[in-house]
């Protein structure tokens, strides 16, 4: 009997678990551990923020995995020894024949002085009700949406929030000033300037000030402090810096860097039969820009890791490779969405494009969520 240990119950962990369960012998054990009790597709938080839906409609219990032959442990992973392929979960040590690390990126608001006191972290699921109340009751004149570090999860999300929030206030007949600032030179650097200009022009046409190359140093009451001055706000919704979970930082998997280093095609780490997928890893594209941290890539990487584990268990040469193909939705309001899509690992440079907005892409976005909830946890 073989055992596979999957650390993390997001896109990567769930995709890997189901792929393995479908192909491994029923006697082989698949264990998935996560400190969270529920899974939710991240973009639902934006819908909840602007009153388009609720988070509860998209929450599913990870305990549903038990019905599918996958053992779920609801507990934090406190120690990881990749050399021994062992992890400590809820005080108990588990050793495995293979490990897939899919713990994602953690939010590190403490890296920005004043962020926790004066901003609302709209990437934090627990903060969404507070953020939604703040938007609903907003009586000020200036709203700021700030990106406080890069890379960060779901790169289109802040721009999507800005456009949907503009729609939200327009329906209420409220006229406000809105800023979106980022430390990056353009909205979505992996797209290149031409496509970024499409996004930035759409922001401008909606009366939203796009402010690139602004790295925030701290947050004060009603003001963000930058190297060259301050920008005032009445409400600040922020994306804090990201980092790997502490258990990963302490494991030796980052090689002294910020993220886990893997073979970008095989998802293998430097430790035998230990794989890492999704937001916890760093993959550089051919032009040196990082692969976006997005669920669709975590899912694709997870299938590669799972397929290679299956081949190893069956004494076959693993051949599955991650090709970097995928895309992200960018909702723009008025019932429409764009799609950022392409071949992100293509050489000599990524082949990525931005579609025109359409109702179809918004329908596809809704279907994307529904299909995964149904396949994984229903």
User: What count of other Cβ atoms lies within 10 Å of the Cβ of residue 136?
Assistant: 12
Mean pLDDT of 291-319: 98
Mean pLDDT of 166-188: 96
pLDDT the model gives residue 247: 98
* Token pair of 26 as six digits: 């029923």
pLDDT the model gives residue 193: 94
Mean pLDDT of 80-107: 98
> pLDDT category, 372, cuts 50, 70, 90?
very high
Residues 219 and 119 sit within 8 Å (Cβ to Cβ) = yes
> pLDDT category, 40, cuts 50, 70, 90?
very high
pLDDT in tens, 110-165: 999 999 999 999 999 999 999 999 999 999 999 999 999 999 999 999 999 999 99
Mean pLDDT, all residues of the chain: 97
Distance CA 23, CA 257 (A): 35
Mean pLDDT of 8-17: 99
Annotation: CATH topology of 3-105+244-322:
FAD/NAD(P)-binding domain (3.50.50)
Whether 3-105+244-322 shares its CATH topology with 108-242 is answered yes
pLDDT the model gives residue 204: 98
pLDDT the model gives residue 3: 99
> pLDDT category, 1, cuts 50, 70, 90?
very high
Which class for 1: exposed (0-12), middle (13-18), buried (19 or more C-beta within 10 A)? exposed
Distance CA 188, CA 291 (A): 11
- Give the CATH class of 108-242: alpha beta
pLDDT the model gives residue 245: 98
Distance CA 134, CA 117 (A): 14
Cα-based angle 224, 43, 161 (whole degrees, multiple of 5): 40
Beta-bridged to residue 358, according to DSSP, are: 337
CA 187 → CA 197, 257, 308, distances in Å? 8, 25, 36
pLDDT in tens, 225-253: 999 999 999 999 999 999 999 999 999 99
**Domain coordinates in residue numbering, the chain:** 3-105+244-322, 108-242
Mean pLDDT of 280-309: 97
pLDDT in tens, 45-65: 999 999 999 999 999 999 999
pLDDT the model gives residue 7: 99
**Residue % of the chain over a pLDDT of 90:** 99
Mean pLDDT of 326-331: 96
Mean pLDDT of 73-97: 98
Residues 6+ apart with CB under 8 A from 294: 153, 154, 155, 326, 328
Model-level pTM? 0.96
């Amino acid at each position: 009997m073989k055992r596979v240990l999957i650390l993390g119950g997001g896109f990567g962990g769930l995709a890997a678990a189901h792929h393995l369960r479908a192909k491994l012998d029923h006697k082989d054990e698949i264990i998935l551990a996560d400190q969270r009790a529920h899974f939710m597709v991240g973009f639902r938080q934006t819908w909840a923020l602007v009153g388009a839906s609720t988070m509860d409609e998209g929450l599913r219990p990870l305990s549903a995995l038990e019905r599918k032959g996958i053992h779920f442990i609801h507990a934090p992973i406190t120690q990881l020894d990749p050399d021994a392929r062992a992890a400590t979960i809820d005080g108990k040590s588990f050793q495995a024949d293979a490990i897939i690390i899919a713990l994602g990126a953690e939010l590190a608001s403490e890296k920005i002085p004043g962020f926790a006191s004066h901003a609302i972290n709209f990437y934090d699921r627990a903060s969404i009700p507070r953020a939604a109340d703040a938007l609903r009751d907003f009586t000020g004149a200036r709203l700021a949406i700030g990106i406080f570090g890069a890379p960060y999860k779901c790169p289109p999300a802040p721009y999507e929030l800005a456009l949907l929030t503009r729609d939200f206030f327009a329906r209420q007949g409220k006229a406000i000033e809105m800023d979106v600032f980022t430390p990056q030179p353009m909205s979505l650097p992996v797209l290149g300037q031409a496509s970024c200009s499409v996004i930035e022009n759409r922001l401008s046409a909606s009366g939203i000030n796009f402010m690139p190359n602004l790295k925030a140093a701290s947050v004060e009451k009603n003001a963000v402090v930058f190297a060259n001055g301050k920008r005032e706000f009445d409400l600040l919704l922020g994306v804090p810096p990201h980092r790997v979970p502490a258990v990963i930082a302490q494991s030796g998997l980052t090689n002294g860097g910020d993220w886990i280093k893997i073979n970008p095609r095989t998802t293998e780490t430097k430790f035998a039969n230990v794989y890492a997928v999704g937001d916890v890893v760093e993959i550089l594209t051919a032009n040196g820009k990082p692969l976006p941290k997005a669920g669709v890539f975590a899912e694709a990487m997870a299938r590669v890791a799972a397929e290679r584990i299956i081949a190893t268990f069956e004494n076959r040469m693993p051949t599955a490779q991650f090709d970097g193909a995928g895309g992200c939705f960018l909702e723009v309001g008025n019932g429409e969405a764009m799609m950022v899509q392409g071949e992100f690992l293509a050489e000599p440079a990524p082949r990525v494009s931005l579609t025109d907005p359409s109702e179809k892409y918004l329908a596809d976005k809704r279907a994307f969520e529904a299909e995964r909830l149904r396949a994984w946890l229903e």
